[in-house]
Amino acid sequence: MDIPQERKVVTEIPGPRSRELFERRKTAVPQGVANLHPIVTARASGAIVEDVDGNRYIDLATGISVLNVGHTAPEVVKAAQAQLELETHTCFHVTANEPYIALAERLNALAPGDFAKKTMFVNSGAEAVENAIKIARHATKRPAVVTFDHAFHGRTLLAMSLTAKVMPYKQGFGPFAPEIYRLPFAYPYRWPSGPERCAQEALAYAKDEMHKHIGEENIAAVIVEPIQGEGGFIVPAPGFLKGLAEFCAEHGIVFIADEIQSGMGRAGRWFAIEDEGVVPDMVTTAKSLGGGLPISAVTGRAELMDSVHVGGLGGTYGGNPVAAAAALAVLDKIEREDLLASARRVGEIVAERFGEMQARHAVIGDVRGRGAMWALELVADRATKEPLAAETMSAISRAALERGVIVITAGTYGNVIRLLPPINIDEALLGEGLAVLDEAISAVTG
Ligand code: PLZ
C-alpha cells in the first residue's frame, strides 16, 4: 500500500471517526490497556500513518521501534504474503519449518561474538526475556538475576519483576518473582556526583553489591538494555557496560543484552552493545525483527543455549513461519540498503537539531542518544532538574499530534520525548517532523 509521504491534517484531531471508534473502544476494551494518542489508524506506509479520518502523520514512534525499515515495506509484505500462501503454521515442535532455521542461522551470524551461537524464537519481547533467564539459570544452576534502575523488560511475571517502574507496570500485580536484585544504572544526567564520575562509581557500587550482598556464585545473569528504552533513552556512561561484562566473565555470570528496543539497526549498529566494545553471552531481540509481525528471539553462546534438556524450551507459535519469513526480509533490506548507515545519518540530523533546540528551550535539560534513537529530557528547572509535569508532557505530544506528527514519551519520571522514526526516513520528512516538535514545545512552554 503506497501512501503519499506527506503530512496532511484534514480534520480536527481526533477526527469524528476516531472519536466514534474510541467510544466503542471504551465499552469493549479495558482501560488498563492504555492508548497514548486518541486516534485510530487505518493504514501506513514508509514513515506515514493515516488515520480513519484521512489525516496523515509523520510517524516518529513506529509502534515503539517496530518499523525500523518503515511501515509495510514492500519486500517484507511480499515475503509474508508468499509464506502465507505456503503454510501459516505447523508448530516447530511438531514439524519444523525452513524460515525458522534460516532466521536462526542469520541471527547467529549477526550477533556479536566470534563463537558458535544458537537461536530460539518466541512471540514477544517479554517472552524472549523470560527464556533468556530460564536458559541462564539452567546453564549456571544459579538463582539470582541482576537488573537495573529504569529498566524495562516486559509485562509477564518474570519480565515485570525485572522491570523497574512501579506505576503503571507493577502496581497491584505482585507478588513478584523472587531472586531479582536491582542496582543503580549509570545515568550520567542524574548521577549525584556528576557525569564524569558516573561510570566508575556506578560500577564500583554494582560490583560491591554483587560481591557482598548477592554473592557472585549465586548470580545466573546480569540483564541490561545497552541503551535503556522505556526508562528514558538513557545511554550509560562510557565504560559502565564493559566493566559489568568483565565482572560477569570473571565470575561465570551470563551477560544478557536486551536489544529488543535498541537492536535491529535502531542505534546505528545491528546491536547497540557493539558500540560498547562488549560481547554479550546472550542477546534478546523482538520489535523490528519481524517488521510488524510478532516474533522474538534469544541468541546466545551455543553451549549455554544447549544446556537445556530436549523439550525444555519453546511454545506453540514460536518462530511462526510467516513472521520468520518477514524477519528474513527485514534483515535482507537492512543489509542491502545499508540502513545501519542511514540510522547513523538520522542520528546526525536529530542531534544537530536537538542541540540547537536546547539552546532555545529552557525546558530541555538533556539531549542524548545514538543512531536513530534520540531523546530530549525535559525539566521544569535546569538547576534542580525537576522533571517537567506530566500534563505539560502530554500537552506537547498532543500539540505535535494536532500538527500531524506522532511522538511518544518515556522515562521513569515520564519527562522524556523519544524519537523512534524509521531508520530509512526521508531526510526532508524527518526535518519537517523535528520542526513540528520544536513548534509544539514552543506552543506549550512558551
Ligand atoms: N525489553 C528493552 O523495550 C518493550 C513496551 C510497551 P514486548 N518496550 C515497549 C508497553 O507499554 O508495554 C520491551 C523493551 C525491552 C522488553 C520489552 C518487552 O517487549 O514485546 O512488549 O513484550
pLDDT of 208-254, one tens digit each? 999 999 999 999 999 999 999 999 999 999 999 999 999 999 999 99
CA 359 / ligand 1 centre spacing (Å): 33
Atom of ligand 1 lying closest to residue 34 CA: 11
Provide, rounded to the nearest whole percent, the portion of the chain with pLDDT above 70.
100
CA 125 / ligand 1 centre spacing (Å): 6
Res. 89: pLDDT tops 90: yes
Res. 271: pLDDT tops 80: yes
Cβ atoms of residues 127 and 156 within 8 Å: yes
Q: Is the pTM of this model over 0.85?
A: yes
Q: Would 8 be classed as within a structural domain?
A: no
Average pLDDT, the chain: 98
Residues 267, 358, single domain; the answer is: no
Cβ atoms of residues 122 and 128 within 8 Å: yes
Residues 60, 81, single domain; the answer is: no
Q: Angle CA(417)–CA(256)–CA(333) in degrees, nearest 5?
A: 65
Question: CATH number of the domain that 68 lies in?
Answer: 3.90.1150.10
Q: Would 2 be classed as within a structural domain?
A: no
Q: Would 426 be classed as within a structural domain?
A: yes
Residues 149, 266, single domain; the answer is: yes
Q: How confident is the model at residue 2 (pLDDT cuts 50, 70, 90)?
A: confident
Atom of ligand 1 lying closest to residue 156 CA: 22
Q: Which of 279, 309, 336 is the last residue of a domain?
A: 336
Q: Would 9 be classed as within a structural domain?
A: no
For residue 221, give its domain range. 75-336
Can you tell me the distance from the alpha carbon of 355 to that of 350, in angstroms, rounded to the nearest whole number? 8
Residues 404, 295, single domain; the answer is: no
CA 64 / ligand 1 centre spacing (Å): 8
Residues 204, 111, single domain; the answer is: yes
Cβ atoms of residues 367 and 358 within 8 Å: yes
Q: Would 364 be classed as within a structural domain?
A: yes
Count of domains forming the chain:
2
Q: What's the whole-number mean pLDDT along residues 31-45? A: 97
Residues 231, 246, single domain; the answer is: yes
Question: CATH number of the domain that 158 lies in?
Answer: 3.40.640.10
Atom of ligand 1 lying closest to residue 64 CA: 9
Q: Which of 223, 23, 45 is nearest to 126 (CA)?
A: 223
Q: How confident is the model at residue 446 (pLDDT cuts 50, 70, 90)?
A: confident
Q: Would 263 be classed as within a structural domain?
A: yes
Residues 362, 433, single domain; the answer is: yes
Mutate to test the pocket of ligand 1, among 287, 373, 409, 416 (most ligand atoms within 8 A of CB): 287
Closest residue by CA, ligand 1 atom 16? 153
Residues 117, 82, single domain; the answer is: yes
Residue 422: HSE in the Cβ half-sphere, 13 Å Cα cutoff: 25
CA 209 / ligand 1 centre spacing (Å): 27
Residues 212, 257, single domain; the answer is: yes
Q: Which of 319, 336, 353 is the last residue of a domain?
A: 336
Residues 199, 283, single domain; the answer is: yes
Q: What's the whole-number mean pLDDT along residues 23-40? A: 97
Residues 256, 379, single domain; the answer is: no
Atom of ligand 1 lying closest to residue 258 CA: 2
- Ligand 1 environment, Cβ below 6 A: 64, 124-126, 129, 152-155, 225, 229-230, 258, 260-261, 286
Q: Which of 313, 336, 359 is the last residue of a domain?
A: 336
pLDDT at residue 1, rounded to an integer: 57
CA 361 / ligand 1 centre spacing (Å): 30
Distances in whole angstroms, Cα of residue 184 to Cα of each of 79, 188, 199, 431: 43, 11, 11, 36
Q: Would 1 be classed as within a structural domain?
A: no
Q: Would 359 be classed as within a structural domain?
A: yes
Q: Angle CA(163)–CA(167)–CA(169) in degrees, nearest 5?
A: 45
CA 143 / ligand 1 centre spacing (Å): 24
Residues 214, 81, single domain; the answer is: yes
pLDDT at residue 395, rounded to an integer: 98
Letter string b/e over residues 294-308, b meaning 16 or more CB atoms within 10 A of that residue's CB = bbbbbbbbeebbebb
CA 321 / ligand 1 centre spacing (Å): 22
Cβ atoms of residues 221 and 254 within 8 Å: yes
The phi, psi pair for 77, rounded to 5°, reads -60, -45
**Mind listing the pLDDT tens digit for each residue in 93-112?**
999 999 999 999 999 999 99
